[in-house]
Structures are given as C-alpha cells and as structure tokens.
Amino acid sequence: MAPEVDPGYRLGAEDVILISVWKDEHLTREVVVRPDGIFSFPLVGDIQAEDRTVEDIRADLVKRLTKYIPNPNVSVAVMKVLSYKVYVVGRVTKPGEYLVGHYTDVLQALSLAGGLTPFAAENDIKVIRRVKGQQQVFPFRYGDARKGKDLEQNILLQRGDVVMVP
C-alpha cells in the first residue's frame, strides 16, 4: 500500500516510486530516483524525475510507451519519501541529518534536534537554502518565536535546508 502523498509533491533523489503498467507484469516495478534526479525504465530509458510530480511522470511514461503498447494504462505511486532531508547543525542537543518525510518548519526541526543547548545564540539562528546554485539565508529569532512574536519567520523548510545554530 502506497503512503498518502500530497499530489503536488515533487520527487527528489532517493525517493522510491512504484510504476505499474496494467496487464504487463514485466513493466511493473519499484524504481529509485538516482542522485542525478533520473530513473531508468524498460523500453523508454532514462526519465527525469527530480522536481516533477507523479502525474508528470505518469503522463511522460504513457507518451513514451505508446510507441510499444497501444493505449498503455500506467499508474505511478510514491512508495517511500527518502529525499526530504533537512540538516540541523551547531549548538543543538543532537545535530545532524533528519529524514522528515513531510513538511517541517524551523521550530519542528529544532525540536527534532533535541532543542538548543544552554550556550546557543537563540536569536542568531539562520536557515541556509541553496536555490539554483545560489545560497539564500533566512534569519530566525528563537526567543521571539518562543514568546509568540514574529511567527512568520518560522518558515517551512525545503529539502536540503540547513538550520545553523551558533
């Protein structure tokens, strides 16, 4: 049984998807998205999966398989979300890589890391995000968030984000 995944979810490296072609067990298999964002499938070769939805992949497969199978009935499902990782580094109880598998905000990531240590600079936390090769930095003031102020700074993290606690 495939886990419930947001239909808008965009695939990433290491995600596992199940592709099935109706009435053809040779074309039913689980595939892993490689680190380069691509997976291979019989008859059609390599398919770009990273940053695409399962519906995008399904439509692409139908189009490519039509050369070999008339009116192929293809389904695609996400079996394991393994690409949604965030990193928490610095003065937290348990720094490291966290496989979250769901949308996570800064406070939740800090909670996963066991919270701040006594010497953490709670109002100098930064979220570092790489977008198309460029780094973006988002400040996060834990002290304000703890008091219920400036909560819009508690952004949703994206895969690969680093929460840095000095």
Q: Say what the pLDDT of residue 101 is.
A: 74
Q: Say what the pLDDT of residue 4 is.
A: 54
Q: Say what the pLDDT of residue 5 is.
A: 59
Phi, psi of 58 (to 5 degrees): -60, -50
Output the CATH code of domain 16-80: 3.30.1950.10
Question: Across residues 102-115, what is the average pLDDT?
Answer: 94
pLDDT over 70, % of the chain: 96
CA-based R_g, the chain, Å: 20
Residues of CATH 3.30.1950.10 domain(s) within the chain? 16-80
Residues of CATH 3.10.560.10 domain(s) within the chain? 85-165
Which residues contact residue 66 at a Cβ distance below 8 angstroms, ignoring those fewer than 6 apart?
72
Position 6 pLDDT exceeds 80 = no
Q: pLDDT tens digits, residue range 24-81?
A: 889 999 999 999 999 999 999 999 999 999 999 999 999 999 999 999 999 999 999 9
What six digits make up the tokens of 28?
């039913």
Whether the pTM exceeds 0.85: the reply is no
Q: Domain 85-165: what homologous superfamily? A: Outer membrane lipoprotein wza domain like (3.10.560.10)
